[in-house]
Structure 1
């Protein structure tokens, strides 16, 4: 793993978090001479009780040591939430898994059978890179036709940022996509510098202006929350909730199952969509 890239990521993360704090939030007077938003480096260092030179070097991506106590002080001064604090520690202390999990790129027939038994509920299997490896027919009917997509196109972020049909169905596309981007960043924090991740980020920056902007925010989140609202061209509005399950004998795989949110018409509409598609197949 490339230590220089990790330090650069840490430097950018610190800068974005420092710049989002206004002087007034921490009891400092505002100044018209500020050329950049947020706190100055020396102000942040003073709030955290660390040396201004040491903090400047850290934010410049230099190879310096950061103790746990110093990082805790920075986390408090930067007003980081729990997910951001974890991200800071992983980047600064270079914590990596002692025994990295192998990457799985296909599944066995038994897992596919489980997906198929979900019936009208969309279900997917993802690996640690967020590649969609398998799906059921309901996922194709409700989300998008995975059967005709390339491996790259079946990456969750690639779908969100470049699949215009899928994007057009998401009622809360901007909110959903920013949430998934923060989840992705948190889940891949130990993989920074790996060629596949560098290539994916580069390609998404080329393909999507929204990705370029939001990736630079360095938002992180570890827990998925919220509902997915779709305006389906055949079924109408669907409100789904996702449940994620780790595959016990293949811990680098996760199954995601979408089910209807109670007290909505989603269950009935999924049922009708399944009936419509079955009739359509018979006619074909």
Structure 2
């Protein structure tokens, strides 16, 4: 999808969700051909001509000012994430340099992950590849296995792996958030071919993703709570915090249980299981090396 189409569909869907009466446009029984606000009503509230707004919504207008885009965002009641997305679509401040998708973390981030040993912590890039984690983090995302395509990817797991619906307590919310994250990143990094390829892959193969992508929702989730049913630890109810790191397009997520809760006990069980599994794997490797020396 090019920016012009993205602009058109995003603004159209944002207009459609606003009741005319709430914006001060009484319908008086008038039959409206479109849901929500009309183009001329948005133009009136934003202080621009209908022709100007029509060109802007079609994506055929170059040089829209920050002031105009700010007025449009106000009229359409865009939140911070949606406003950033709108500005990015028009090539304004906020677009990131077109660096390669990170596939590793710095030593400082590595030390930070290890320091948070008592809670699961992972790092994903803008494509939602899991590129780093502490021991408990890798145990937590154990169901998200790497594939022949590349590293474990949260988006592929959510939309393409049937186990995701039982892993996440509210799969639909997770799917909504995931599509909204990719939508935001696609505007921040419009020339990222690998990100575009992932989106195309999901669009081609999954109706659940296609439907959510066409809704043009954009979100930034910094904290909240989610429940999971882990194949080893069972039910885990965890708070989470997302932090965008200084490295371009990297996000650190930590999952925290309530102190003394069943979920805290479940994470201790998970940590013990992971340590045992890795100890046994290491012992097996040493035995094989001793039996078959090079």
TM-score (norm 1): 0.82
Q: 1:99 to 1:200 in 2, by over 3 A?
A: closer
| C-alpha spacing 1:98/1:180, structure 2 compared with 1 (3 Å) | closer
Counterpart-to-counterpart distance in 2, 1:23 and 1:131:
41
Once the two structures are TM-superposed, the CA of residue 49 in structure 1 deviates from its matched residue by 1.9
Structure 1 residues 137, 146: CA separation in 2 closer, same or farther (over 3 Å shift)?
farther
Distance 1:141 1:22, change over 3 A: same
Q: TM-score, normalised by structure 2?
A: 0.80
Q: 1:208 to 1:238 in 2, by over 3 A?
A: same
1:122-179, Cα deviation, whole Å (9 max, x unpaired):
2222233332123344334323345543455622222222222133111111122312
**Secondary structure at the residue paired with 2:142?**
coil
Match of 1:6 in 2: 3
Contact residue 135 and residue 146 of structure 1 kept, 8 A: no
1:83 is aligned to 81
Count of matched residue positions in the alignment of Structure 1 and Structure 2:
280
Instruction: Give 1:77-116 correspondences, 5 Å limit.
Output: 77-95=75-93, 97=95, 99-107=97-105, 115=113
**Which of 257, 261, 271 is the aligned partner of 2:258?**
261
Contact 2:98 2:189 in 1 (8 A): no
Query: What is the alpha-carbon distance in structure 2 between the residues aligned to residue 42 and residue 110 of structure 1?
Result: 52
Partner of 2:174: 176
What does 1:160-239 align with in structure 2 at a 5 Å threshold? 160-239=158-237
Match of 1:18 among 3, 15, 20: 15
Do the aligned partners of residues 129 and 98 (structure 1) sit closer, same or farther apart at CA in structure 2, a change above 3 Å counting?
closer
Q: Report deviation, 1:107.
A: 4.8
- CA–CA distance in 1 between the matches of 2:73 and 2:52? 15
Q: CA deviation at 1:96?
A: 5.9
Cα distance change of structure 1 residues 231 and 162 upon mapping to structure 2, 3 Å threshold: same
User: How far apart, CA to CA, are the structure 2 residues paired with 1:128 and 1:141?
Assistant: 22
- Distance in 2, Cα, partners of 1:129 & 1:279: 32
| C-alpha distance in 1 between matches for 2:245 and 2:53 | 42
The CA RMSD over aligned residues, in Å, is 3.1
Q: Evaluate the alpha carbon distance shift between residue 176 and residue 51 of structure 1 in structure 2; reply closer, same or farther with a 3 A threshold.
A: same
Quick one: higher RCO (CA 8 Å, sep 6+), 1 or 2? 1
Distance 1:27 1:232, change over 3 A: same
Number of the residue aligned with 1:129: 127
Give the aligned partner of residue 285 of structure 2.
none
Deviations 1:39-80 (A, max 9, x none): 221222122221111111111221433122222221222122
